[in-house]
Amino acid sequence: MGDVREIAEDRVSSREIHQRRKRSNAMIGLMLGGFVVLVFAISVVKMMNGASMEAYDHVLRPSLLERAE
């Protein structure tokens, strides 16, 4: 009879572990989703503000030259 109680306690503890893992995975998923939304929002704002989209390609760019007045 002692074995039955131990099995029941193991089932309860494994159920608790499963619930904790599920909650933890949900939090990680929400944090990852929030990060994706943040990167997307920053990208959209930069494009809407007309930020210069020049890449560093080892070429002299006219936008870096001083303008002669």
Give the model confidence (pLDDT) of 35-68 as tens digits: 999 999 998 888 887 656 666 667 777 777 777 6
Residue 34 has pLDDT above 90, yes or no: yes
What the block records as the tokens of 18 is: 């499963």
> In the prediction, which pLDDT does 9 show?
65
Residue (of 40, 44, 64) closest to 54 by Cα position: 64
Give the model confidence (pLDDT) of 15-30 as tens digits: 888 899 999 999 999 9
> In the prediction, which pLDDT does 53 show?
63
